Chains A and B, each alone.
Chain A
Amino acid sequence: MSSLRSSLSLDRLGSVIAVLIGAALFASPFVIYRANRIVAGEGRMLADALPPSGSVGVMVLALAVAGCAALVRAPLIRLAAASIGLCAIFPAVGWSAGFITPPGNTFARVSPALGFWLLALAFALLAADALTRLRLSPWARLAALAVAAGAVALLLVSGAWNDLSLLKEYAGRADTFWREARQHLWLAFGSMAAACLVGLPLGILGHRVPRLRNAILQVLNVVQTVPSIALFGILIAPLGYLAAHVPLAAALGIRGIGAAPAFIALFLYSLLPVVANTVTGLRQVPAAVIDAARGMGLSARQRLWQVELPLAPPVILTGIRIVLVQNLGLATVAALIGGGGFGTFVFQGIGQTAIDLVLLGAIPTVALSFAAAIILDAIIDLTRRGSP
């Protein structure tokens, strides 16, 4: 009796989510219709955004998910409900765009509106809570990410979203989009790789020479404090000077403005997490273990290779996770100094008050950081499990 009651009682978080869903369905427009890409738009409620069968279908489904969120506590059921909800509203918003846009009108724009975003948020919250409670294994988390990525790819490739303003922005700049994507990844991953190449040896050195460690960490701490655009600005002057006075530098493509200062700044930001976590990773080995190793006659070098380094990877990888997520985000700022990347669309979009152009830059950035965080967290868990 009591177990039945506890599995069906009103869940507080679920109730909040149900209220969100209610507000999304009955008090917020599902999509925004605009006559062209920059004029103010008008909202369309769900009932007017889809053919009757569609809007009733979405509404019934969303209410079912709301009921499930409020009354059912089993995480697996909640996850399934949230996934079904997401799988319904994403194609629905694309369908709505095709339904609303007058035939033959190429200027009209349809974008998701508050109602859609609230529904997506509510379902995502439900899914996130369920996933948190399920405590999935690293492999299961990677599989979940792959499924989600596959679903998004399917959505985009199938053309279901082609009538949405976001994809119209993309269609107009498909070439630039992929060029900036490559540039963004190059900035983020390239500077991370460079930071690992320099930072790992620096961390090992810092571990063995304590006085050096404090000096290095102090300097890197100061660098980390400097805001990104300020650091870009500070680097522009010397790089410009270098380009003007050293022919080789200019030949290598180093200029005051552009990717070079952005790359160097990202590299400098990346050093602190890499070095600090390498040092921490090496130092976390219990004193008793080090003592035993010394007692068995292992030299400092042997201790490093046989005891300290094998135990350090999880902590070093945590540093690399910080770097990667940070770099993928900071690379957007590079566009301000002509460094390219997804920030190009963000700042162009701000300039034109075109929210869909902003989203064209922002969504891939967020998706990349998000995926990078999940993948690295899984890898960290796997290395942790592997080490004794």
Chain B
Amino acid sequence: MSAPSLLWRGAALVLLLLFITAPQLFAFAFEPLTVNGAPAIYNQGSLLSLTLSHLRIVFLATLASTILALGLGIFVTRPSGREFLPLSRSLVNIGQTFPPVAVLAIAVPLVGFGEKPTFIALFLYGLLPIFENTLTGLMEVSPQTLDAAKGMGMNPRQRLFQVELPLALPVILAGIRLSVIISLGTATIGSTVAAKGLGEVIIAGLQSNNVAFVLQGGLVVALLAVLIHDGLGMAERRVSAKLGRAADEVS
């Protein structure tokens, strides 16, 4: 990675950390946006704790989706689950036409307000990209490699853990990254159903007509998403470095 882009990322990270820990330092920048002496910096809760609960719910939901989606993806690519493969592929296609907001909205009447509907929406919607990428990753493993593994006497479990999953890992990680980014956005909307998170700042701003809140909420969420997207992308590139280059060579 080039030095300027590293520097840029570092600066963005420092700025974000500084803003959520000591937002008052930046009050001067938001004051021009307020009217009638409204507060320039969100004052109904600490940005730090909102950020942490935002990240917590995204992390937990993604963890749960990853476990289930990975398990399902492995199941439908085994001989015993092949019958479910065509349907599961079309279900993922259909599922992705559902807007995440709709999933969130339908969950509320079923489980009430708060973290629960948000978690359910993040979890359900997060399954799709991870499942899809697990399928792609596992099915892209070259038949030749699998034949060699089988010919050397690897049993199905050894083939899965020593050959298929390591080779599919970069694609699976890409799915997890996509899922995390979608979840970060959906969790923001989760604030409309009273889940604790950064969406609160934006919603509060919209309700009280305070553009300063709306803007700072938007900026924090945006910066968080971009940095996490970037960080996960870096991890992915590291993992795929040897495989990625391999993929260019092996036709």
Is B22's CB within 8 Å of the partner chain A? no
A132 touching B89, Cβ below 8 Å: yes
Partner of B105, one of A227, A236, A362: A362
B99 touching A227, Cβ below 8 Å: no
Partner of A11, one of B83, B102, B193: B83
Is A333's CB within 8 Å of the partner chain B? yes
Partner of B222, one of A133, A234, A237: A234
B199 touching A229, Cβ below 8 Å: yes
A233 touching B109, Cβ below 8 Å: no
For chain B, the count of residues having a C-beta within 8 Å of the partner chain is 47
Known contacts: A225-B226, A233-B214, A233-B218. The answer to whether A365 contacts B87 by CB under 8 A is no
Residues from chain A with Cβ under 8 Å of B205 in the complex: 233
A234 touching B101, Cβ below 8 Å: no
Distance from A259 Cβ to chain B, minimum over Cβ atoms (Å):
15
Main secondary structure of the interface of B (DSSP, over half): helix
Is A222's CB within 8 Å of the partner chain B? yes
Residues from chain A with Cβ under 8 Å of B106 in the complex: 355, 358-359, 362
Is B202's CB within 8 Å of the partner chain A? yes
Name the CB-closest residue of B to A372.
Answer: B97
Q: Which of B62-70, B141-149, B180-188, B240-248 contacts A (4 or more CB under 8 A)?
A: B180-188
Is B173's CB within 8 Å of the partner chain A? no
For chain A, the count of residues having a C-beta within 8 Å of the partner chain is 51
Is A361's CB within 8 Å of the partner chain B? yes
Known contacts: A132-B89, A234-B218, A349-B105. The answer to whether A366 contacts B99 by CB under 8 A is yes
Residues from chain B with Cβ under 8 Å of A285 in the complex: none
Bound together, the chains give a CA A125 to CA B96 distance in angstroms of 16
Is B206's CB within 8 Å of the partner chain A? yes
Is A92's CB within 8 Å of the partner chain B? no
Distance from B29 Cβ to chain A, minimum over Cβ atoms (Å):
11
Partner of B108, one of A257, A325, A350, A370: A350
Distance from A104 Cβ to chain B, minimum over Cβ atoms (Å):
27
B97 touching A229, Cβ below 8 Å: no
Interface flags for B162-197 (1: CB within 8 Å of A; 0: not) read 000000000000000000010011101100110000
Bound together, the chains give a CA A228 to CA B100 distance in angstroms of 11
Is B160's CB within 8 Å of the partner chain A? no
A237 touching B86, Cβ below 8 Å: no
B189 touching A369, Cβ below 8 Å: no
Distance from B115 Cβ to chain A, minimum over Cβ atoms (Å):
15
Interface flags for B218-251 (1: CB within 8 Å of A; 0: not) read 1101100110010000000000000000000000
Main secondary structure of the interface of A (DSSP, over half): helix
Residues of A bordering B, CB below 8 Å: 11-13, 125, 128-129, 131-133, 222, 225-234, 236-237, 240, 256-257, 325, 328-330, 332-333, 336-337, 343, 346-347, 349-350, 353-355, 358-359, 361-362, 365-366, 369-370, 372-373
Instruction: Name the 4 nearest CB pairs between A and B, nearest first.
Output: A233-B218, A329-B99, A227-B185, A355-B109
Residues of B bordering A, CB below 8 Å: 33, 83-84, 86-87, 89-91, 93-94, 96-102, 105-106, 108-110, 113, 181, 184-186, 188-189, 192-193, 199, 202-203, 205-206, 211, 214-215, 217-219, 221-222, 225-226, 229
A229-B221, A350-B105 given; name 20 further pairs at CB < 8 Å. Answer: A11-B83, A13-B84, A132-B89, A225-B225, A227-B185, A227-B221, A227-B225, A228-B185, A228-B189, A229-B218, A232-B202, A236-B214, A236-B218, A325-B96, A325-B97, A332-B99, A354-B109, A355-B106, A355-B110, A370-B97
A-B contact pairs, 23 of them (CB 8 A): A125-B91, A128-B87, A128-B94, A129-B86, A225-B222, A226-B225, A229-B199, A229-B218, A230-B185, A233-B219, A234-B218, A234-B222, A237-B215, A240-B211, A257-B206, A329-B101, A332-B102, A336-B203, A337-B206, A355-B108, A359-B106, A362-B101, A365-B99
